[in-house]
Chains A and B, each alone.
Chain A
Amino acid sequence: MIDKRVGSLPEAVAGIADGATVLVGGFGNSGIPVELVHALLDEGARDLTLVTNNAGSGETDVAALIREHRVRKIICSYPRTSGSIWFEERYRAGEIELELVPQGTLSERMRAAGAGLGGFFTPAGADSLLAEGKEVRIIDGRRQVFEEPLHGDVALIKARKADRWGNLVYSTAARNFGPTMATAATVTVVQVREFVELGDLDPECIVTPGIFVDRVVRVEGS
């Protein structure tokens, strides 16, 4: 019997290794898998590369990982959200590497990874500093820059409901990077508010089919 549900947060993040590339869903404070990130903090993996839109805020989740020196590098589009004090401090001290990526490129690089593609050309950023060192071609009459796929060893995301096959539906704008990250990681771990029986999710409305999901853990009230 297929059953991707796990009983605890430590089980959900078990085996994340030092040096792993971890995709973390969320945009601002919407859709962040806070409890999974805290479980990763407890699990202890170090030297991580985080792929996430923002660089954490305050003292929780991504900011806590950065504060505790677990993150070697962050790949993100907007590390200057108000309250990103730990990222700014580590960045100024030269203790964390930043790879800045336009937000659509960040998402599309993960989509390419999930889709088995070798990358893509995009006009976004082609005339900017962010294209430095990358191949630029004229395609359809405009300058476009080559971007490589971005794989994760692990994705940590948040959804609203899951069944035991790992089929997912999300909650409003908390969906954001979740469905794309789920496709792009070797192991996709999801925290949900609610488990439902197989067959209870309307097949017309399942957003992430369970084929992209490996572990699901329930976090009440999340």
Chain B
Amino acid sequence: MSGPRLSLSDMARRVARDIPSGAYVNLGIGMPTLVGQVVSPDKEIVYHSENGILGMGPAPAPGEGDPELINAGKQPVTLLPGGSYFHHTDSFMMMRGGHIDVTVLGGFQVSAAGDLANWATDEVGHPPAVGGAMDLAVGAKRVLVLMTHTTKVGTPKILPLCTYPLTAAGVVDRIFTELAVIDVTPGGLVVRELVAGLSREELQARTGARLTFADDVVELVPEAG
């Protein structure tokens, strides 16, 4: 898709600004993991991994590290000072029990009511898989979705109702795409920020659900690099 848009790293940086210092954060697999790489070092964030880690640190240097110390995406990670290990039941207690302040999840679709579809599409021939997506979506205090605004062929992913199987209903708080930052409110979807150079009409044309615009829409300006 051509036209004004944020790069992936711009999108990750924008999400990172929404994560407050001191937060316990779980980053979903895929695009959301980029957010951890661009959070300001001034903030102290405790990263949670569903397989039983709090205080998760970055990947180890090549050839170092513990092969069993991995993140939810099965990539090698490290433990920061103050970090801890715990078993799966405790880990999901943290997730489902409302102890995680912020989660950033990928999405296939989000509805106007904040329903999230991010675990299954309508493809056939592959076994379904869900992992921890449902527990995290229902349990985190704040659910941020980071995703492209449309599919690769331009089909809107923000819809009146999800057509893919739901992960959870009414859980999404804010959507971040390459075009906009959109809040899910009781009155529907409210655009807070819009990429520079894109008109409101163009944004609406790429969105399946009806959008309203905040009184003070902020311009999202792509950064270099």
Contact = CB atoms under 8 A, between A and B. Distances in A.
Interface of A: 27-31, 55, 77-81, 87-88, 91-92, 98, 100-105, 107-108, 110-111, 122-130, 142-143, 170-180, 207
Given A124-B139, A176-B87, A180-B88, 8 more contacts: A28-B74, A30-B74, A104-B132, A107-B92, A111-B89, A124-B138, A128-B166, A179-B87
Given A123-B139, A127-B169, A170-B85, A80 B70 contact: no
A170 B85 CA distance: 9
Interface string B90-114: 0110011000000000000000000
B166 A104 contact: no
A105 B91 CA distance: 12
A119 to B, nearest CB: 15
A177 B86 CA distance: 10
A102 B166 CA distance: 13
Given A28-B74, A123-B138, A88 B126 contact: yes
B69 interface: yes
B130 A103 contact: yes
B129 interface: yes
B22 interface: no
Contacts of B96: 104, 122-124
Given A107-B89, A124-B138, A175-B87, A79 B50 contact: no
Contacts of B69: 30, 172-173
B79 A124 contact: no
Contacts of B211: none
A160 B51 CA distance: 17
Nearest to A207: B87
Given A98-B127, A102-B132, A130-B130, A173 B53 contact: yes
A159 to B, nearest CB: 11
Contacts of A92: 125
Contact of B134 (A98, A110, A125): A125
Contacts of A79: 127, 129
Given A29-B67, A98-B127, A100-B128, A128 B134 contact: yes
Interface in B160-198: 165-169
- Chain A interface mostly: mixed
Instruction: Give the interface centre of A81, A98, A128 by most chain B CB atoms within 10 Å.
Output: A128
B87 A178 contact: yes
Nearest to B56: A173
B87 A173 contact: no
A127 B92 CA distance: 18
Interface string B53-87: 10000000000001111100010000100000111
Given A124-B138, A172-B66, A177-B87, A103 B126 contact: no
A123 B96 CA distance: 8
A142 B170 CA distance: 11
A55 B68 CA distance: 17
A31 B130 contact: no
A30 B70 contact: yes
Contact of A30 (B68, B89, B139): B68
Max chain A Cβ within 10 angstroms of own Cβ: one of B50, B70, B85, B88: B88
A198 B169 CA distance: 51
A92 B125 CA distance: 7
B79 A103 contact: no
Given A175-B85, A175-B87, A100 B165 contact: no
A33 B127 CA distance: 24
B122 to A, nearest CB: 12
B150 interface: no
A19 B197 CA distance: 64
Contacts of A123: 96, 138-139, 168
Contact of B88 (A101, A107, A122): A107
B78 to A, nearest CB: 10
B50 A103 contact: yes
A174 B88 CA distance: 10
